């Protein structure tokens, strides 16, 4: 593409959506720049997906060591080196963000460091310089939502960024305000590290959007591990005192208020799109009342040559959704017939057991008018799960009764996120439960549980009593 602009494509934001867009556009022969005010990799690589998974892994190793005596392996007293833990986690982040920088160089993507702000619909100021581009992709991501009464200081009262820095000593008492994905992942980390953890959720159920049966099983496992859970509960205010953080909790049903004391409080009540400093109005770009910059299925905003991807475009705020949207935007700009038309977007809580789902929940399917059948295979009947000492959970399959069409898959168990790929592909290909049941799965694997759930739809699972 030959233009009179400095770049064919200028991407604002180098998170998952942004760097995928920039690299794909460059692969397709376009001249590309990517502006980032912080570190490349965005929230996900720097203070989100990757460092949380590192801490989750470390915590799970601690938990696994506690049960190793079951098969004859014993250790001395556990000792946690907090400085080394934080250093190891930060080293992974550095390696991955450095990798993105190397990919930019390899693909000849110009990295522009600084706050990007629109001057007009083809011009962006980055730092003290201005650049023009034929097409612009907004991929600015999101920030943690704030909660009145709980002022984040990133030491005692933290958001997801502050919670990544494990204090020494580990806090004895931890409150997680918000029973969603972020709240429970950090609850799991701190619980395994030795904190006494309580999670509160304003809504009647934790993990909004997940299947009710899967949530029930997940909650049972979290409680079994020692995490206290209170739904329909809110935190009104917090006061720091010598003996800890005094938090006023309120039962939203009765209005009853109590005060509990904690050593650290995590505020995890969602995220909000990041548009501060963008000056979108200078380009005529529409920002809605919730702060999102909406886009169509080809990721175009109301200004046709300006695109929006990832968290800033719409919910759900997930890195893998942003990645796909970034690729779509780049390919559309390059003249390809691309579109964001995914049948379903997977969701995962990376605890142990994991909770993962793709497609419709049983209730959502019924609400859409489907007559459904379900098949459930418990991991307590899985030989592989037994060898892993992780038998909590199940695989649940939701299908249309008359056609056998797969509508959704919901998994609670070890490596649920890895098992979900098969389900996602099946949904995209309009597969049936029978298609999955007819597919030979390796033995012994956790993947066999997906096959058994498909068989259970037809009351033909081998390793359980079919009812």
233 is in an annotated binding site: no
Residue 231 burial class via C-beta count within 10 angstroms: exposed 0-12, middle 13-18, buried 19 and up:
middle
Give the model's confidence band at 466: pLDDT under 50 very low, under 70 low, under 90 confident, else very high: confident
- What is d(CA 309, CA 321) in angstroms, rounded to the nearest whole number? 9
Is residue 443 part of the annotated active site? The answer reads: yes
- The per-residue pLDDT for 395 is 98
168 and 215, same domain (yes or no):
yes
75 is in an annotated binding site: no
Does 150 map to a domain?
no
Please say whether the dihedral angle defined by the alpha carbons of residues 31, 37, 39 and 43, taken in this order, is positive or negative. Answer: negative
- The per-residue pLDDT for 3 is 63
- The per-residue pLDDT for 272 is 97
CB 188 within 8 A of CB 351: yes
Q: CA nearest 92: which of 49, 121, 125?
A: 49
CB 454 within 8 A of CB 375: yes
182 is in an annotated binding site: yes
- The per-residue pLDDT for 355 is 98
Give the model's confidence band at 1: pLDDT under 50 very low, under 70 low, under 90 confident, else very high: low
Q: What is the pLDDT of residues 249-306, one digit of tens each?
A: 999 999 999 999 999 999 999 999 999 999 999 999 999 999 999 999 999 999 999 9
Q: What is the pLDDT of residues 122-158, one digit of tens each?
A: 999 999 999 999 999 999 999 999 999 999 999 999 9
- The per-residue pLDDT for 77 is 84
Which of the listed residues 269, 285, 300 is the one where a domain comes to its end? 269
48 and 131, same domain (yes or no):
yes
201 is in an annotated binding site: yes
Among 6-10, 64-68, 367-371, 431-435, the minimum mean pLDDT is found in: 64-68
DSSP run (H or E) holding 102: helix 82-106
185 is in an annotated binding site: yes
400 and 445, same domain (yes or no):
yes
- What is d(CA 434, CA 442) in angstroms, rounded to the nearest whole number? 17
- The per-residue pLDDT for 78 is 84
139 and 281, same domain (yes or no):
yes
Does 72 map to a domain?
yes
- The per-residue pLDDT for 39 is 95
Host domain of residue 327: 7-144+272-334
Q: Which of 67, 111, 410, 443 is catalytic?
A: 443
Q: Give me the percent of the chain exceeding a pLDDT of 70.
A: 99
281 and 265, same domain (yes or no):
no
pTM over 0.85: yes
Q: What is the pLDDT of residues 42-94, one digit of tens each?
A: 999 999 999 999 999 999 999 999 889 999 999 888 889 999 999 999 999 99
322 and 416, same domain (yes or no):
no
364 and 386, same domain (yes or no):
yes
CA distances from residue 322 to 230, 338, 344, 402, 416 in whole angstroms, order as listed: 32, 15, 14, 35, 21
27 and 126, same domain (yes or no):
yes
Strands 257-262 and 110-113: unpaired
- The per-residue pLDDT for 198 is 98
Does 298 map to a domain?
yes
Q: What is the CATH number of the domain that holds 452?
A: 3.30.390.30
Does 463 map to a domain?
no
Which of the listed residues 220, 242, 269 is the one where a domain comes to its end? 269
DSSP letter, residue 335? T
Q: What is the CATH number of the domain that holds 253?
A: 3.50.50.60
Encoding tokens for residue 39? 């570190």
458 is in an annotated binding site: no
- Which of 451-463 are b and which e, b meaning 16 or more Cβ less than 10 Å from the residue's Cβ? bbbbbbbeeebee
Does 465 map to a domain?
no
Length of the chain: 467
316 and 366, same domain (yes or no):
no
Q: Is the pLDDT of residue 329 over 90?
A: yes
Q: What is the pLDDT of residues 400-454, one digit of tens each?
A: 999 999 999 999 999 999 999 999 999 999 999 999 999 999 999 999 999 999 9
237 and 309, same domain (yes or no):
no
270 is in an annotated binding site: yes
CB 346 within 8 A of CB 420: yes
Q: Is the pLDDT of residue 109 over 90?
A: yes
183 is in an annotated binding site: yes
Encoding tokens for residue 368? 């859409």
Does 340 map to a domain?
no
Does 149 map to a domain?
no
174 and 134, same domain (yes or no):
no
Give the model's confidence band at 467: pLDDT under 50 very low, under 70 low, under 90 confident, else very high: confident
- What is d(CA 302, CA 139) in angstroms, rounded to the nearest whole number? 16
Give the model's confidence band at 325: pLDDT under 50 very low, under 70 low, under 90 confident, else very high: very high
Does 339 map to a domain?
no
251 and 168, same domain (yes or no):
yes
Number of domains in the chain: 3
Q: Is the pLDDT of residue 12 over 70?
A: yes
Q: Strand pairing partners for 142?
A: 273
CA distances from residue 138 to 3, 11, 16, 418 in whole angstroms, order as listed: 20, 6, 12, 30
Which of the listed residues 232, 247, 269 is the one where a domain comes to its end? 269
């Amino acid at each position: 593409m030959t233009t009179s602009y400095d770049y064919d494509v200028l991407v604002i934001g180098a998170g998952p959506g942004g760097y995928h867009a920039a690299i794909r556009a460059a692969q397709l022969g376009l001249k590309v720049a990517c502006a980032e005010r912080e570190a490349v990799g965005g929230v996900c690589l720097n203070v989100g997906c990757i460092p949380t998974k590192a801490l989750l892994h470390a915590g799970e190793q601690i938990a696994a060591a506690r049960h190793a005596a079951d098969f004859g392996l014993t250790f001395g007293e556990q000792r946690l080196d907090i400085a080394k833990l934080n250093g190891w986690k930060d080293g992974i982040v550095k390696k991955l963000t450095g990798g993105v920088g190397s990919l930019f160089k390899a693909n000849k993507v110009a990295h522009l460091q600084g706050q990007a702000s629109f001057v007009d619909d083809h011009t962006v100021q980055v730092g003290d310089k201005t650049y023009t581009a034929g097409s612009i992709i907004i991929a600015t991501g999101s920030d943690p939502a704030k909660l009145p009464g709980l002022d984040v200081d990133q030491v005692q009262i933290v958001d997801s960024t502050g919670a990544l820095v494990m204090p020494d000593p580990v806090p004895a008492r931890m409150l997680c305000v918000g029973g969603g994905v972020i709240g429970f992942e950090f609850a799991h980390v701190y619980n395994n590290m030795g904190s006494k953890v309580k999670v509160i959720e304003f809504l009647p159920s934790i993990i909004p959007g997940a299947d009710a049966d899967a949530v029930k099983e997940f909650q049972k496992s979290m409680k079994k591990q020692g995490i206290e859970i209170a739904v329909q509960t809110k935190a009104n205010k917090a006061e720091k005192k010598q003996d800890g953080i005094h938090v006023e909790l309120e039962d939203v049903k009765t209005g009853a208020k109590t005060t509990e004391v904690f050593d650290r409080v995590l505020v995890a009540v969602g995220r909000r799109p990041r548009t501060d400093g963008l000056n979108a109005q200078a380009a005529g770009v529409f920002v809605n009342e919730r702060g999102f910059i909406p886009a169509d299925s080809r990721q175009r905003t109301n200004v046709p040559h300006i695109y929006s991807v990832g968290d800033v475009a719409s919910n759900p705020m997930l890195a893998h959704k942003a990645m796909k949207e970034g690729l779509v935007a780049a390919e559309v700009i390059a003249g390809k017939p691309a579109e964001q038309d995914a049948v379903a977007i997977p969701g995962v809580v990376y605890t142990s057991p994991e909770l993962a789902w793709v497609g419709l929940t049983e209730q959502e399917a019924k609400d859409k008018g489907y007559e459904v059948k379900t098949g459930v295979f418990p991991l307590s009947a899985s030989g592989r799960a037994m060898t892993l000492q992780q038998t909590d959970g199940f695989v649940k399959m939701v299908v249309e009764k008359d056609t056998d069409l797969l509508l959704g898959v919901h998994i609670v168990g070890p490596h649920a996120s890895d098992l979900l790929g098969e389900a996602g592909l099946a949904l995209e290909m309009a597969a049936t439960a029978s298609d999955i049941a007819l597919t030979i799965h390796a033995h012994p694997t956790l993947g066999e549980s997906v096959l058994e759930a498909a068989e259970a739809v037809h009351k033909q699972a081998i390793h359980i009593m079919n009812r």
